[in-house]
Amino acid sequence: MENQTRTKVIKFFLYFFLVFLAVICFLPFYLMIINSTRSGTEIMSGFSLLAGGSLIDNWKIVVDNMELGRGFLNSIFLAVCNTALVSYFSAMTAYGLAYYKFRGAKLIFTVMLIFMMVPSQLSLLGFYDLCNQLGLIDSYIPLIIPSIASPATVFFLRQYYSFGYAESASGSAAYRRSQ
């Protein structure tokens, strides 16, 4: 009986701690929503957990000073392009690394793992300099091209092809197509 009581107490404190962490994680989002209802002077005057009355005025400022529709279209365009290109090129690369045995395949895989361990922020300034020298600032190319080479996607697809995907499935599709 004492063991069950102890287990319940441990579970209570564990759940309390998890709920506390969840509140901490959601607090910044809550504050963003609250601050969107307050005026600039109210935000600068101090911290508040209560909503203000300037939501409509703030939206008018955003709509008047920003091209909101253009921003959404840019986001959709970039998301579709990046998703399609990453999926296509990563799937081809991963398939080649998983099924074709060639000299240097393990070296390529190791280098790819090393690139996954290096934070992308380290190359940000150098990449900006390169784009500036090539005249690619204010274009979509620097936002699309680097994401095509996604070592993480290649890694996960290669692992899937190596351990979870039956090579005979692709072979049977080629066989049926030839019939």
| 52 three-class SS | coil
- Both 49 and 94 in one domain: the answer is no
Distance CA 111, CA 13 (A): 44
- Both 103 and 139 in one domain: the answer is yes
pLDDT, residue 23, reads 96
Q: What is the pLDDT of residues 66-92, one digit of tens each?
A: 888 899 999 999 999 999 999 999 999
Whether residue 176 lies inside any domain: the answer is no
Question: Which of 86, 85, 83, 90 is closest to 161 using CA atoms?
Answer: 90
- Both 78 and 57 in one domain: the answer is no
- Both 157 and 75 in one domain: the answer is yes
135-142 contact pairs (CB < 8 A, 24+): 140/77, 140/78, 140/81
More confident residue, 24 or 164: 24
* Domain, as residue range, for 14: 2-65
Distance CA 10, CA 43 (A): 41
Portion of the chain with pLDDT greater than 90, in percent? 51
Whether residue 101 lies inside any domain: the answer is yes
pTM for this predicted structure: 0.67
pLDDT, residue 166, reads 65
Confidence of residue 168 (pLDDT cuts 50, 70, 90): low
Confidence of residue 18 (pLDDT cuts 50, 70, 90): very high
Mean pLDDT for the stretch of residues 133-154:
90
- Both 83 and 161 in one domain: the answer is yes
Distance CA 118, CA 138 (A): 26
Distance CA 83, CA 96 (A): 20
More confident residue, 177 or 37: 37
CA distances for 103 relative to 14, 109, 115, 156, 159, angstroms: 52, 12, 20, 21, 19
Tell me how many domains the chain contains. 2
Q: What is the pLDDT of residues 91-125, one digit of tens each?
A: 999 999 988 888 998 999 999 999 889 888 888 89
Report the mean per-residue pLDDT for the chain: 88
